[in-house]
Amino acid sequence: MSPLRGSTIVEPFRIRNYRFQWISDLVTSWALGMEILVLSWYILVETDSVVLLTMFGALLFLGTLLSPMLGVVADRIGQLRLMRTLRALYLALSFLVLLVILTGNLSPQLVLVIAFLSGLVRPSELGTRFSLMASLVPARLLLTTTSLSRTTLDSARVVGALAGSGLFAAVGIATTYLVIATLFALGLVFTLAIVIHVDDHSGRRLPTVSSYFSPWKELREGLAYVWKTPHLRAAIWIAVLINFTAFPLPIGLLPYVAKEVYGTDEIGLGYLMASFAIGALMGSIVLGVIGHKIYPGRAMIFFVIVWHVLLMLFVFVDQLMIGMVLMVIAGLAQSFSLVPLDGLLMRTSDPAFRGRVMGVRMLAIYSLPVSLMAVGWLIDYIGFQQIMTFYMVMGIVFTLVVALRWRESVLRKDAVANEI
């Protein structure tokens, strides 16, 4: 191995624009992590309803329907312009929420409206991060920068869980939200500091596709491109699956588990959320060092199965400390599945379609709000353990189906998905 390959975890930070993107992603993710904890706990405590809790989580991801279209827009106008716009919307919305809190008008109904508005921006902003990153660094650094981006997201969950719950308990929702708004402002400032010259393309439309701008036509082209590329299709199906079966528990149901299973408060919820995030953070850091040695397609399949098994075990635990340990290991498995998945999507996509491929990737997240809307009602009528066990078994079975169906494209050592 060359010395250069051994130092890839620091190499991206030698690129000025990447340094600014990383900092802006970090503080924006901190704000989002704190916001989710504060508002989800507020909903559950005020209403005592798992249905409204999962509705809140579902609304946060409604914008996945817009993601492919914004991927088309990003390919046309550039990911940087789109990112600046989305970050400005985050800031405006956070000040609106702060105003509502300071005037004493906050209610569960208004929180659901806030979740809806934020949900129109959030999924597309997350997808744009990855496609922008792909235009800022060389292709050989994409797996490393993908793991660093996962590190950013996962550290945000740790900070959001611990700082968010601590601030909420100590100083109340108003001061906590002032901190959130300040972080969004810093994220926008650092995004504005990124400068890309026109001849860098910056995710702009490349001349391989017709110059006439028809969003629906281009979206169909992007979907067709994914559909006719076997390893991309397999990865997208895995993304759809994990959002439906695996993510509802750590993303939407931990407040319910904290309150109803463990009988703890927002501090206990913070510990649970931080545990999952710490595991995911550890995985991202490890992959930042050894990511160039693993086979992405194989890792994606194997660790998705491991992730579901760990979540199934978590469902039957009724002690907070044991639950925290399982959440750490589950978070580790999440990173070892998602980093390879996102890395192979970016690395193996034609640059002319990369924005649209990541838009389709974000569209896969729509299975999460659909699943959350269903799981809240099902838990109410059938029970938490029964429904979650069914979800995890379904996730394992369908992962094996995808692996067998596209084994030549994702499991073979010499497949495109396993190029390292």
State the sign of the Cα–Cα–Cα–Cα dihedral 307, 141, 123, 403. Answer: negative
- Taking alpha carbons only, the member of 56, 54, 168 closest to residue 118 is 56
Q: What is the mean pLDDT of the chain?
A: 84
Structure tokens at 417: 């998905």
Please tell me the predicted confidence (pLDDT) of residue 70. Answer: 67
> With 60 as the cut, is the pLDDT of residue 200 above it?
no
Give the residue-averaged pLDDT of 312-325.
94
Structural domains in the chain, sorted by start: 11-197+223-418 (1.20.1250.20)
pLDDT by residue (tens digit) across 345-372?
878 887 778 777 877 787 788 899 899 9
Calculate ∠ Cα 52-332-64, nearest 5°: 45
Give the residue-averaged pLDDT of 11-39.
88
> With 90 as the cut, is the pLDDT of residue 301 above it?
yes
Could you tell me if 355 and 74 are in contact, meaning their C-beta atoms sit under 8 angstroms apart? yes
Q: Select the more confidently predicted residue: 213 or 27.
A: 27
Give the residue-averaged pLDDT of 364-391.
92
Out of 155-159, 208-212, 277-281, 338-342, pick the least confident.
208-212
Please tell me the predicted confidence (pLDDT) of residue 207. Answer: 39
CA distance 31 to 199: 33
Q: Tell me how far CA of residue 69 lies from CA of 84, 91, 302, 349, in angstroms.
A: 17, 22, 32, 18
pTM for the whole structure: 0.79
Structure tokens at 169: 């308990």
pLDDT by residue (tens digit) across 405-420?
988 888 787 777 677 6
Is 11 buried (19+), middle (13-18) or exposed (0-12) by CB count in 10 A? middle
pLDDT by residue (tens digit) across 224-283?
888 888 889 999 999 999 999 999 999 899 999 999 999 988 899 999 999 998 998 888
> With 90 as the cut, is the pLDDT of residue 79 above it?
no
What are the DSSP calls for 188-225, one per residue? HHHHHT----GGG-TTPPPTTS-SS--HHHHHHHHHHH
Please tell me the predicted confidence (pLDDT) of residue 397. Answer: 97
Give the residue-averaged pLDDT of 97-108.
92
- The C-alpha torsion from 294 through 343 and 225 to 203, rounded to 10°, is -150
Could you tell me if 409 and 231 are in contact, meaning their C-beta atoms sit under 8 angstroms apart? yes
% pLDDT > 90, the chain: 41
pLDDT by residue (tens digit) across 119-176?
888 877 877 887 787 778 777 777 778 777 777 777 777 888 888 889 988 888 899 9
Please tell me the predicted confidence (pLDDT) of residue 291. Answer: 65
Residue 179, C-beta contacts closer than 8 angstroms, at least 6 positions apart: 34, 163, 167
Residue 69: pLDDT band (50, 70, 90) is low
Structure tokens at 312: 């199934």
> With 60 as the cut, is the pLDDT of residue 210 above it?
no
> With 70 as the cut, is the pLDDT of residue 59 above it?
yes
Could you tell me if 244 and 368 are in contact, meaning their C-beta atoms sit under 8 angstroms apart? yes
